[in-house]
Amino acid sequence: MEKFPERLKYLRAEKGLSAKALGKEIGVSDAAIINWENGVHDIKGEYLIRLAKFFDVTTDYLLGLEN
């Protein structure tokens, strides 16, 4: 999941959101967001779907399977 952290960082920055603000939007802590962006923890499917809906992208895009 090397592309996921990069894409999450990019999308969050594009919207001008802090990790705390994004976490609040999808129901996780800011630490979870930071850990995903740093590749420390893998994301659970439920949260991947929430991120995709929030950013209006596909889960495949987030995972780096499509551009």
pLDDT: which is higher, 67 or 54 = 54
Place of tokens 């999941």: 1
What pLDDT was estimated at residue 45?
Answer: 94
Q: Is 35 exposed, middle or buried (0-12, 13-18, 19+ CB in 10 A)?
A: middle
- Whole-model pTM: value is 0.91
Under a CB-based contact definition with an 8 Å cutoff, are residues 35 and 41 in contact? yes
Q: Give the pLDDT confidence of 14-42 residue by residue, as tens digits.
A: 999 999 999 999 999 999 999 999 999 99
CB 63 within 8 A of CB 3: yes
